[in-house]
């Protein structure tokens, strides 16, 4: 699964990376983005790419309560096209989730050790996701909420020693097709859901257990240890 990630890059770098002109919200570098928190997500609406703040943890439009979102932070790529919670979004509401790193926990005996995956130059990359709009109450506020989930796939050879799943990461040549709400060829979309090629894409660092708590959100979370 993908349960924590980073976007340490400034918003203007993200906009440049994903060819978006402007965004109407502020963004400070984040070192430990956690479920139910808000993060920038790339959508295609009204004929253009936009970056908008969405809540992590997809809430289907038919859900009665927001609590379901905490259980739907990830969608398995193998079943995403058929599972009732995700199939409508997979057909029409695909998105990209900008990140410049993510965490997985490696089991060693009874311990779970956090590991940080990032590119050597810390350049942002695109995790494939889905989004939905749900109207209801969250923390006393009733309004339409946009929420998202991150699609996962089987780990590649580099990632497998740490965890058996990894986020679905799409190359730039795939972005337009993935974002296009008019494109509904399920077979071609499903073919895009595969692990990264086995050549090394990430550097992997053992990091502090500070990342285990979502209250910790500083550079200490990504500092290598050991």
* Pairing of β 141-154 and β 74-76: parallel
- Cα separation values, 61 from 35, 135, 145, Å: 18, 7, 10
Out of 95, 104, 115, 221, the active site residue is: 104
What is the full per-residue pLDDT of the chain (226 aa) written as tens digits? 789 999 999 999 999 999 998 888 999 999 999 999 999 999 999 899 999 999 999 999 999 999 999 999 999 999 999 999 999 999 999 999 999 999 999 998 889 999 999 999 999 999 999 999 999 999 999 999 999 999 999 999 999 999 999 999 999 999 999 999 999 899 999 999 999 988 889 999 999 999 999 999 999 999 999 7
Q: Does domain 5-107+121-200 have CATH number 3.50.50.60?
A: no
Give the per-residue pLDDT at 64. 93
- For residues 132 and 43, give the distance between their C-alpha atoms in angstroms, rounded to a whole number: 11
**Which of 4, 8, 25 lies closest to 17 in space, CA to CA?**
8
- For residues 224 and 145, give the distance between their C-alpha atoms in angstroms, rounded to a whole number: 36
Give the per-residue pLDDT at 102. 98
* Pairing of β 203-206 and β 111-118: antiparallel
**Which of 62, 109, 118, 91 lies closest to 178 in space, CA to CA?**
91
Please say if 174 is a catalytic residue: no
* Pairing of β 38-45 and β 125-138: unpaired
- For residues 69 and 147, give the distance between their C-alpha atoms in angstroms, rounded to a whole number: 8
Q: Residue 129 in contact with residue 153, Cβ under 8 Å?
A: no
Please say if 182 is a catalytic residue: no
Give the per-residue pLDDT at 194. 93
**Which of 176, 127, 116, 138 lies closest to 55 in space, CA to CA?**
138
Report the predicted TM-score, pTM, of the whole model to 2 decimal places. Answer: 0.96
Contacts (Cβ under 8 Å, ≥6 apart) of 124: 7, 9, 13, 14, 17, 18, 98, 99, 100
Residue whose structure tokens are 């400034």: 10
Q: How many helices (H) does the chain have, and how many strands (E)?
A: 4, 13
Out of 2, 95, 115, 221, the active site residue is: 2
Domain edges within the chain: 5-107+121-200
Give the per-residue pLDDT at 130. 98
């Amino acid at each position: 699964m993908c349960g924590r990630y980073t976007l340490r890059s400034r918003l203007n770098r993200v906009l440049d990376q994903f060819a978006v002109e402007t965004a109407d919200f502020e963004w400070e570098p984040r070192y430990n983005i956690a479920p139910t928190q808000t993060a920038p997500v790339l959508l295609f609406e009204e004929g253009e790419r936009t970056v908008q703040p969405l809540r992590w943890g997809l809430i289907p439009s038919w859900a009665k309560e927001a609590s379901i979102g905490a259980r739907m932070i990830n969608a398995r790529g193998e079943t995403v096209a058929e599972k009732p919670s995700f199939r409508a979004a997979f057909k029409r509401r695909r998105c990209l989730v900008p990140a410049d790193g993510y965490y997985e926990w490696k089991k060693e005996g009874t311990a779970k050790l956090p590991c940080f995956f990032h590119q050597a130059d810390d350049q942002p990359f695109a995790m494939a996701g889905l989004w939905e709009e749900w109207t209801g109450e969250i923390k006393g506020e009733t309004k339409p909420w946009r929420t998202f989930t991150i699609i996962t796939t089987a780990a590649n050879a580099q990632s497998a020693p740490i965890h058996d799943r990894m986020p679905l990461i799409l190359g730039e040549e795939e972005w337009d097709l993935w974002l296009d709400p008019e494109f509904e060829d399920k077979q071609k979309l499903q073919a895009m859901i595969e692990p990264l090629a086995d050549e090394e894409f990430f550097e992997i660092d053992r990091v502090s257990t500070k990342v285990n708590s979502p209250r910790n959100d500083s550079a200490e979370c990504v500092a290598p240890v050991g």
